[in-house]
């Protein structure tokens, strides 16, 4: 069995993965160790963790594989500047020296980075490079249980490719069709992310969360859709698109768009990150979300026509748009859909390793019903000894429970009483979602919990929705959900019997009045359009988390709770017990659970001194 290290780095969301034969042994994002969100730095700590978890040293590896081909990317950069010349001279003068001094010599950067990890023999190193969208395709197809499948990858841009349709069969992946830069659905969505005041390459999910506050029937929204389709993007029947570069600046500039032209098009100023959100922002977010769904569905139909497959695998950053995924599911173009839970660049490390294992080395792809992503629980776990060490270092006061079921009963009662709980168990999740191992938990029935979590715990925009974790066997009691959703990659509507009657003037109210109007008996996970982004929790995949929710169900009759990522705004999800305790102490969380220890805020030294524990995090 081959031992393969996959690496993604130098752009955003650096990560590492170890594959041994058919098993993904470990995978982690560098941001979790460096505490720099979305870091692009070489993933030294992530690699060290993966090697330690697997019990390997670098010289034992059969291959080290990088997730894209830098020379092709450099070729695209040069051709783009040449094509748009003399425009882009400022960007050219900034970008080219970086490429010449650093990224053009990527092999040296990788070799140097691996030296920081540990000693190795360079002559023994088998260093490979996978094409970017092949890495995405492999990250989705090989972990799926499909023996053959259509594959759709969509992101901002790889080398040249921005979207691809492929076909996976046994050990092979064949790319059938590609969309090339500068025409990109990912970059189109990111342009609107930028215009509406959210951070490029990380704030796209905020745009998706804002869209339901828009009114599709409003004349303004329909006007926005018409403007986008007539001025900014041409949509073809096969899902390919053409972006009018007169309005964009990402190809050769230092930002995404030509701001003045967009302001003239839509009739309002670009929104700054801390500006008030108005209805026109909501309507524009809904307009581009609607168009994104239309394009994705056309691409999927083309993938169906080209492959004839009943199965679809998806990856790339756009595959994290769970609202669009659910619209695709509703169309029933495919019988089965599998989406890589770490669909962005971090997941490219897994895809590169799997592509090397099955395509380069030709190892037999033994498809089975097991989830080789292991619920995404691929990161580090921490022993009781390490937790006790953290207790001594921080002077944390905790109570140890020998019986975990008693702990679950205790925490279920605390959640039902309105407490907010930090939940730290087992191996850390890989990818952008907390799925019950590094999570903040609360009671979805509480009318004020969304406001409390956003403003007092997460320190983030108040409109942001929260997701439910629901027992797989209880999902039908709350949601019109057609498939299991273990990775929070689909949304579904609340059942009618759960809904509250809305006032007749609901749609005329402003964003905040609508947000705080009661909509259902699980108010704090019900978005304003009655939808929810769902995680179904299986007893076999995460037994401790299932046990907690089950105890909550026994107590309340509700087999679901709020689950949000264990971090605050601008901070990566917590990795270590110390990260968890620091985050707990810097917020208004009431309780913290780490393994078998429970910590009450009121028991801690300086429990009111949040500033002592705060860290000002920066993105890389």
Task: Please identify which residue in the block is written with the tokens 């969208």.
Answer: 133
Extract long-range pairs of 225-234: CB within 8 Å, 24+ residues apart: 225/287, 225/290, 225/291, 227/265, 227/266, 228/287, 228/288, 228/291, 229/291, 231/265, 232/188, 232/265, 233/188, 233/291
Buried (b) or exposed (e) across 285-308, using 16+ Cβ within 10 A?
A: bbbbbbbbbbbbbbbbbbbbeebe
Question: Would you give the DSSP letter of residue 275?
Answer: S
Contact 455, 402 (CB under 8 A): no
The model's confidence at residue 619, banded by pLDDT at 50, 70 and 90, is very low
For the chain, what is the mean pLDDT? Answer: 93
Please give the pLDDT value at position 612: 77
CA 329 to each of CA 301, 351, 491: distance values in angstroms, whole numbers, following the listed order: 12, 24, 10
Q: What percentage of the chain exceeds 70 in pLDDT? A: 94
Between residues 253 and 418, the one the model is more confident about: 418
The model's confidence at residue 369, banded by pLDDT at 50, 70 and 90, is confident
Q: Average pLDDT of 278-301?
A: 97
The model's confidence at residue 559, banded by pLDDT at 50, 70 and 90, is very high
Q: Average pLDDT of 310-317?
A: 98
Please give the pLDDT value at position 367: 77
Q: How many CB atoms lie within 10 A of CB 389?
A: 14
Question: Would you give the DSSP letter of residue 157?
Answer: -
- Pair type for strands 233-235 and 172-180: unpaired
Please give the pLDDT value at position 510: 83
DSSP one-letter string for 227-261: HIIIIIEEE-TTS-EEE-TTSB-TTTSSSSB-HHH
CA 15 to each of CA 11, 46, 257, 476: distance values in angstroms, whole numbers, following the listed order: 11, 6, 29, 36
Task: Flag whether pLDDT at 475 surpasses 50.
Answer: yes
Task: Flag whether pLDDT at 618 surpasses 60.
Answer: no
Give CA angle at 83 (77, 87), nearest 5°: 90
> Which pair of structure tokens corresponds to residue 106?
């990527």
Q: Average pLDDT of 124-135?
A: 95
Task: Flag whether pLDDT at 90 surpasses 80.
Answer: no
Please give the pLDDT value at position 87: 66
> Over the stretch 581-614, which tens digit does the pLDDT of each residue have?
999 999 999 999 999 999 999 899 877 777 777 7
| Cβ neighbours of residue 387 closer than 8 Å, sequence gap 6 or more | 577, 594, 595, 597
Q: How many CB atoms lie within 10 A of CB 531?
A: 20
Please give the pLDDT value at position 460: 83
Give the phi and the psi of residue 148 in degrees, each rounded to 5.
Answer: -150, 155
Give CA angle at 347 (433, 169), nearest 5°: 120
Task: Flag whether pLDDT at 77 surpasses 70.
Answer: no
- Pair type for strands 421-424 and 591-594: parallel
Q: Average pLDDT of 180-197?
A: 96
**Host H or E run for residue 532:** strand 531-537
Q: Which of 32, 129, 273, 186 is nearest to 13 (CA)?
A: 32
In angstroms, rounded to a whole number, what is the distance separating the alpha carbons of residues 92 and 85? 10
DSSP one-letter string for 372-400: TTGGGB-S----HHHHHHHHHHHT---EE
The model's confidence at residue 78, banded by pLDDT at 50, 70 and 90, is low
Please give the pLDDT value at position 509: 83
Q: How many CB atoms lie within 10 A of CB 399?
A: 12
Give CA angle at 354 (351, 358), nearest 5°: 140
> Which pair of structure tokens corresponds to residue 269?
């100023």
pTM for the full model? 0.94
* Environment class of 116 (CB within 10 Å of its CB; exposed 0-12, middle 13-18, buried 19+): exposed
In angstroms, rounded to a whole number, what is the distance separating the alpha carbons of residues 27 and 427? 10
* Environment class of 606 (CB within 10 Å of its CB; exposed 0-12, middle 13-18, buried 19+): exposed
The model's confidence at residue 81, banded by pLDDT at 50, 70 and 90, is low
| Cβ neighbours of residue 466 closer than 8 Å, sequence gap 6 or more | 442, 444, 449, 450, 453, 524, 525, 562, 563, 564
| Cβ neighbours of residue 519 closer than 8 Å, sequence gap 6 or more | 494, 499, 500, 502, 526, 528, 530
Q: What percentage of the chain exceeds 90 in pLDDT? A: 80
> Over the stretch 424-471, which tens digit does the pLDDT of each residue have?
999 999 999 999 999 999 999 999 999 999 888 888 888 888 999 999
Task: Flag whether pLDDT at 271 surpasses 50.
Answer: yes
Give the phi and the psi of residue 196 in degrees, each rounded to 5.
Answer: -90, 10
Task: Please identify which residue in the block is written with the tokens 């094509």.
Answer: 83
Half-sphere exposure of 477 (CA within 13 A, CB side): 14
Task: Flag whether pLDDT at 620 surpasses 60.
Answer: no
Q: Average pLDDT of 88-115?
A: 74
Dihedral-angle region of residue 202 (phi above 0 means left; psi in -120 to 50 means alpha; beta otherwise): alpha
- Pair type for strands 467-471 and 531-537: parallel
> Over the stretch 193-224, which tens digit does the pLDDT of each residue have?
999 999 988 889 999 999 999 999 999 999 99
Q: Average pLDDT of 66-72?
A: 84
How far from the centroid of its chain's Cα atoms is residue 92's Cα? Answer: 31
Q: Average pLDDT of 224-235?
A: 98
């Amino acid at each position: 069995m081959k031992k393969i290290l996959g690496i993604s780095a130098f752009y955003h969301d650096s990560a590492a993965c170890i594959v041994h034969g058919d098993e993904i042994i470990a995978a982690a994002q560098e941001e979790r160790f460096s505490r720099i969100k979305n870091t692009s730095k070489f993933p030294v700590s992530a690699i060290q963790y993966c090697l330690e978890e697997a019990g390997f040293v670098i010289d034992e590896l059969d291959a080290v594989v990088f997730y894209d081909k830098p020379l092709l990317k450099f070729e695209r950069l040069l051709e783009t500047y040449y094509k748009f010349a003399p425009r882009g001279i400022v960007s050219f003068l900034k970008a080219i020296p970086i490429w010449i001094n650093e990224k053009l010599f990527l092999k040296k950067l990788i070799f140097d980075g691996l030296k920081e990890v540990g000693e190795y023999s360079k002559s023994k190193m088998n260093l490979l490079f996978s094409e970017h969208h092949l890495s995405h395709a492999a990250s989705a197809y090989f972990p799926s249980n499909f023996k053959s499948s259509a594959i759709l990858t969509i992101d901002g841009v790889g080398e040249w490719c921005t979207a691809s349709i492929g076909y996976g069969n046994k050990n092979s992946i064949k790319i059938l069709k590609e969309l090339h830069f500068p025409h990109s659905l990912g970059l189109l969505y990111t342009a609107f992310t930028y215009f509406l005041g959210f951070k490029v390459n990380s704030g796209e999910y905020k745009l998706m969360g804002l869209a339901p506050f828009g009114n599709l029937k409003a004349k303004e929204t329909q006007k926005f859709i018409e403007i986008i389709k007539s001025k900014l993007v041409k949509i073809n029947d096969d899902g390919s698109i053409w972006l009018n570069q007169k309005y964009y600046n990402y190809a050769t500039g230092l930002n995404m768009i030509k701001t003045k032209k967009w302001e003239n098009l839509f009739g309002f100023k670009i929104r700054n990150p801390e500006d008030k959100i108005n209805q026109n922002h909501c309507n524009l977010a809904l307009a581009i979300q609607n168009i994104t769904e239309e394009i994705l569905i056309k691409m999927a139909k083309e993938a169906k026509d080209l492959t004839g497959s009943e199965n679809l695998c998806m990856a790339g950053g756009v595959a994290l748009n769970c609202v669009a995924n659910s619209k695709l599911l509703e169309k029933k173009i495919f019988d089965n859909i599998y989406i890589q839970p770490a669909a962005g660049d971090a997941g490219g490390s897994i895809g590169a390793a799997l592509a090397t294992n099955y395509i380069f080395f030709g190892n037999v792809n033994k498809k089975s019903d097991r989830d080789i992503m292991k619920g995404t629980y691929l990161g580090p776990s921490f022993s009781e000894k390490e937790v006790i060490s953290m207790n001594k270092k921080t002077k944390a006061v905790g109570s140890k429970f020998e019986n975990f079921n008693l702990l679950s009963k205790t925490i279920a009662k605390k959640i039902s009483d309105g407490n907010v709980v930090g939940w730290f168990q087992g191996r850390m999740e890989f990818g952008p979602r907390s799925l019950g191992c590094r999570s903040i938990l609360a009671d979805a029935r509480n009318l004020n919990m969304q406001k409390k979590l956003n403003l007092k715990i997460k320190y983030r925009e108040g409109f942001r929705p929260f997701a439910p974790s629901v027992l797989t066997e209880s999902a039908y009691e709350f949601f019109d959900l057609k498939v299991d959703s273990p990775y929070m990659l689909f949304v579904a509507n609340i059942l009618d019997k759960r809904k509250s009657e809305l006032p007749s003037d609901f749609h005329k109210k402003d964003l905040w009045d609508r947000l705080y109007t009661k909509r259902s008996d699980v108010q704090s996970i019900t978005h304003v359009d009655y939808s929810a982004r769902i995680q179904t929790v299986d007893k076999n995949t995460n037994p401790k988390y299932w046990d907690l929710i089950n105890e909550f169900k026994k107590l309340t009759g509700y087999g679901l709770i709020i689950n949000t990522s264990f971090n605050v705004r601008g901070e990566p999800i917590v990795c270590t017990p110390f990260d968890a305790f620091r985050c707990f102490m810097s917020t208004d969380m009431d309780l913290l659970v780490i393994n078998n220890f429970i910590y009450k805020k009121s028991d801690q030294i300086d429990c009111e001194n949040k500033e002592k524990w705060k860290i000002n995090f920066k993105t890389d």
